[in-house]
Structure 1
Amino acid sequence: MSLNSSAFPPGHVLPAQPAAHGIGKRLVVVMGVCGSGKTTIAEGLHNELGWPWLDADTLHDADNIAKMRDGIPLTDTDRTAWLERCHAWLRSCAENRTGGILACSALKRAYRNKLCAQGLHVQFIYLHADENTLNARLNTRTGHFMPPSQLPNQLDTLEPPHPDEAAWSLQTLHQPAETIAQIMGLLKASKN
């Protein structure tokens, strides 16, 4: 089934754009635990490339958001429908040939496999930092439903990508612009 852009939050699925910076359109998932910089980096890549982007947190249902807000870790079952919605958005981008950038925790290999279901080719960008840096970011973040107390659970749940997964691992201790420039270089150097 083909999904159109009306199935997702407004402003996140755009008309097809010409290739930016000589980089062919593809599907990118910016992943990592809370505080790793996923949303900032995904939006920065969108600004550079013009591809649609989406913060996967906007696809959580009200029950999941309430649980996280209350400091209750999500289970695999809680995440199932959310991952299906994330996959549907990526599939829509692939079908519309727009490219797409998804900011999504994708903490477990099984979750990443669900995002790549039905033969989707996804480049994962795994952002990570030390726990002190992550805590400092979370304690100064405003307007997000995920409390900093959830970081230990996310770190316990995290399965960093294995060498056989299509993933680049980047430490995000620098300014976001530096991380975005590094990713742009990797995208240019990699096969389109």
Structure 2
Amino acid sequence: MENETDLLQELELNNYLSLEDIPEIDLYMDQVIQLFEKKFAGNKRNPDEKIMTKTMINNYAKGKLFFPIQNKRYTKEHLILISLIYHLKGTLSIGDIKDLLQPLNKKVSAGELNLEQLYESFLHIRKRDVQETTDGMRKNITVAQEQAEQHDEADKAYIQRLLLIASFANISNFYKRAAEKLIDDMNDAEEEHA
């Protein structure tokens, strides 16, 4: 198995779109795509993969995942929301993301919420999550190595990789289900107040 440091570096978990990365001027769709493609190029699983496409952005707009654009230009607030969508879409369904962001979009559109401040809070938690995840992954690598030692020499490398992949998938599923449960609870609470 590759070196744990190499694996963790290749994941580029510290890659995110900061507020400083977002221009103060409104951008056209092609510029939005270029910004995301450049910033998250290291997150691609293969070179042909697209980080962001016109179709994706149009689907987010049609699905009302963010408030309407004006004059075919995306504001800093739109880019923040698109970044949030980018981070959420790997785990949550578009329907869940819409449910999650709908109240946010209403508040931002009404000027009742500082989206930049919220995004800074998101990035703060994200940085902490990266550290905790990295620490947890190191522990899981060690446990998988220990468990693989119990198997035949010829199978150890494969067993270690299998156990590690299964562990990462388990953890991902646990967190995904927890996120979905919170969205379900949020939707149930909104229905009770309707």
Q: TM-score range by the shorter chain?
A: under 0.3
- Considering Cα pairs closer than 8 Å and 6+ residues apart, tell me whether 1 or 2 has the greater RCO: 1
Structure ranking higher in helix proportion: 2
Structure ranking higher in strand proportion: 1
TM-score normalized with structure 1 length: 0.26
Name which one, 1 or 2, has greater alpha-carbon Rg. Answer: 2
TM-score normalized with structure 2 length: 0.26
